[in-house]
Structure 1
Amino acid sequence: MVDGQLGEFLRARREAVHPADVGLETGVRRRRVPGLRREEVALRSGISAEYYIRLEQGRERRPSPRVVAALARALLLDHAAEDYLRLLAGLSRDPQGRPLTTSADMAALVGSLAGTPAFAHDRVLEVIESNPLARALSPVFSPGVNLMRAVFLDSRLGELYLNLDEMRMRLVAYLRLQAAAPPQDPRLAPLVAELSDASPDFAALWARHDVTPASSGVNRIHHRLVGDFELRFERLCFAGSDDPVLVIYHAAPGTPGETALRELARLGAPLPSAQNPLDDIQSRQTSATSRQPASMVSE
């Protein structure tokens, strides 16, 4: 935190709140300060006026999460402004995990990308939305499937992804980065423990402590219906949030990938059920929830 930013932010937001907005009578006499007085903010926040003054003057720089939440209510901050206040106070952003994008909005957005495979996943790489072309490309991109379990616990994916080892490295490094970002997802430790127990390959990659945002890259694909081709992927985050993440696959014009996607869209069908790894992946995930996971691999 840059010295003075917390106090400057509090002062600016205090001055922007009209007393009538918080139910205070302004009377006929003109107020000497714009917005709220320091004492009024302190009273609305349930803290002493002296403590609030220290915050504005920069003599106190580490308010507790409770105080920050109270200040956000007193100053009528929206979610983005409250997150910014938390960052200025040295706290993690969005402690309650408020969804910044609703499931309905996400479903509409993913569904609108009809010409290219698109899906969204959460912080532990579980698919939450996907469009038909993504599912035609691979049933792994079906809602409810965890991508980490899929790439390590289903050997048949090696037939689909020619660069499976590279993709595994990227996904583990991406998950490692997510593990360090607050707030901690309670599903992460059981997932890491499960995969470490079930897959020596995952355990070895996790122990390397590689980290990467994996924001873009190339996957080489062998699809039994449309042949071999390459697709680029872009991982996009929404403003102010890393959950959910939108992943879009696309092909350069005139490439085999463009032809393959056009053919998949025409066929409009995923892999035949005999070759479909989805059922096995989902059955593994269902059984995993009934297991008591081992302790998380040492960081």
Structure 2
Amino acid sequence: MDKMGSLGDFLRERREAASSLQVEPRGLDSRQGTGLRREEVAMLAGISTDFYTRLEAGRERHPSKRVLDALVLALSLEPDACRHLYDLAKRRPIRCGGGVEKVSPGLVTLIQSWPTTPALVCGRFLDVLAMNRPGVVLYDGMDYGDNLLRTVFLDPMARIFYRDWERLAMARVAQLRIAAAGNLEHPYLAELVGELSLKSEEFRTYWARRDIDDLTCTPYAIHHSMVGNLDVTGASYDVDQHPGQQLLLLQAAPGSPSEDSLIFLSGLDASP
């Protein structure tokens, strides 16, 4: 068999070739040499060690796109390896080239330490750069997981997942409008706006309105296929070390049914 002929073989090779420096600054045991442990890759990707072990063993052959997105970041895959990973899993890849924003290792460690609070780190144009395990499970099953705007406007499940889709869609466009203010000549911004304008009539309408909105604290009305309706608040915080990046937390009211649902979801693996 070709040594890169299966998803499990490919993941194992990339894990063993990865530098242990990727995780040593994040509070795990330091050691000499290269290679990551399975539990370290799982931690960096926000999935359980058991689920990752099943991937390497070939017992899970078609992980969700959200899980693949997280593995690309966890293993620091270059564009060619990124595309090969998605080919092996029979999934459409995220954009695997050029100008990838880096996330602080300390910030990754921080969000992974929250066992029941979904957390994302987003880039200046709302690309999802990192996500913890509760976030992976919450958004599992959604396509276009590489960018929050693509999720809202291009994902076929978005209007079910977001019960208040129109309000959130307008708010996301307003958020991009703020980010675009100082980056009007950025080629990726032109690519993103062009793709969304071509594929979504609603995006074209909202983008033309030139609304500006403050999304520091925003209610989210979500419908999850496993637990039903969730009412959470999204709180955004600027990442000082990397201007333009934001940390997004989704929190439910203490003692509410939505909090119970988040706790339940945090104990699950992302589905294959």
TM over 0.5: yes
The one-letter code matched in structure 1 to 2:187 is P
> 5 Å matches for 1:202-281?
202-239=203-240, 241-266=242-267, 268-270=268-270, 272-273=271-272
- Are the aligned partners of 2:144 and 2:150 in contact in 1 as well (CA < 8 Å)? no
SS in 2 for 1:246: strand
Query: Whole-Å Cα distance in 2 between the matches of residues 112 and 251 of structure 1?
Result: 17
Larger radius of gyration: 1
Give structure 2 stretches of 5+ with no counterpart. 1-98
Per-residue deviation, residues 233-284 of structure 1 (Å, max 9, x unmatched): 1010023754221000001112111111111112x233x45xxxxxxxxxxx
After superposing the two structures, state which structure 1 stretch, 145-154 or 128-137, moved more.
145-154
Q: 1:245 to 1:143 in 2, by over 3 A?
A: farther
Q: 1:146 to 1:102 in 2, by over 3 A?
A: closer
Superposition CA RMSD, Å: 2.6
- Are the aligned partners of 2:142 and 2:157 in contact in 1 as well (CA < 8 Å)? no
Q: Which residue of 2 aligns with 1:177?
A: 178
- Are the aligned partners of 1:217 and 1:234 in contact in 2 as well (CA < 8 Å)? yes
Per-residue deviation, residues 124-148 of structure 1 (Å, max 9, x unmatched): 1110100010111113789961111
The one-letter code matched in structure 1 to 2:153 is F
Per-residue deviation, residues 23-61 of structure 1 (Å, max 9, x unmatched): xxxxxxxxxxxxxxxxxxxxxxxxxxxxxxxxxxxxxxx
SS in 1 for 2:120: strand
- Are the aligned partners of 1:140 and 1:150 in contact in 2 as well (CA < 8 Å)? no
Q: Which residue of 1 aligns with 2:71?
A: none
Q: Which residue of 1 aligns with 2:110?
A: 109
Give structure 1 stretches of 5+ with no counterpart. 1-96, 274-299
Deviation at 1:106, TM superposition (A): 2.9
Query: Whole-Å Cα distance in 2 between the matches of residues 106 and 233 of structure 1?
Result: 18
Q: 2:229 aligned with 1:196, yes or no?
A: no
Per-residue deviation, residues 193-252 of structure 1 (Å, max 9, x unmatched): 111111110000000000123111111111121121200010100237542210000011
Query: Whole-Å Cα distance in 1 between the matches of residues 228 and 185 of structure 2?
Result: 41
Q: 1:114 to 1:183 in 2, by over 3 A?
A: farther
SS in 2 for 1:233: strand
Query: Whole-Å Cα distance in 2 between the matches of residues 262 and 197 of structure 1?
Result: 39
- Are the aligned partners of 2:163 and 2:221 in contact in 1 as well (CA < 8 Å)? yes
Query: Whole-Å Cα distance in 1 between the matches of residues 143 and 131 of structure 2?
Result: 6
The one-letter code matched in structure 1 to 2:253 is A
The one-letter code matched in structure 2 to 1:147 is L
Query: Whole-Å Cα distance in 2 between the matches of residues 104 and 205 of structure 1?
Result: 35
The one-letter code matched in structure 1 to 2:135 is A
Query: Whole-Å Cα distance in 1 between the matches of residues 172 and 119 of structure 2?
Result: 17
The one-letter code matched in structure 2 to 1:166 is R
When the two structures are superposed, what TM-score results if normalisation uses the length of structure 1? 0.53
SS in 1 for 2:163: coil
Q: Which residue of 1 aligns with 2:154?
A: 153
> 5 Å matches for 1:47-66?
none
Query: Whole-Å Cα distance in 1 between the matches of residues 215 and 182 of structure 2?
Result: 15
The one-letter code matched in structure 1 to 2:229 is D
Query: Whole-Å Cα distance in 2 between the matches of residues 107 and 229 of structure 1?
Result: 25
After superposing the two structures, state which structure 1 stretch, 101-110 or 137-146, moved more.
137-146
- Are the aligned partners of 1:130 and 1:142 in contact in 2 as well (CA < 8 Å)? no
Q: Percent identity?
A: 32
Q: 2:171 aligned with 1:166, yes or no?
A: no
- The size of the alignment, in residue pairs, is 174
Query: Whole-Å Cα distance in 1 between the matches of residues 188 and 240 of structure 2?
Result: 24
Query: Whole-Å Cα distance in 2 between the matches of residues 108 and 148 of structure 1?
Result: 26
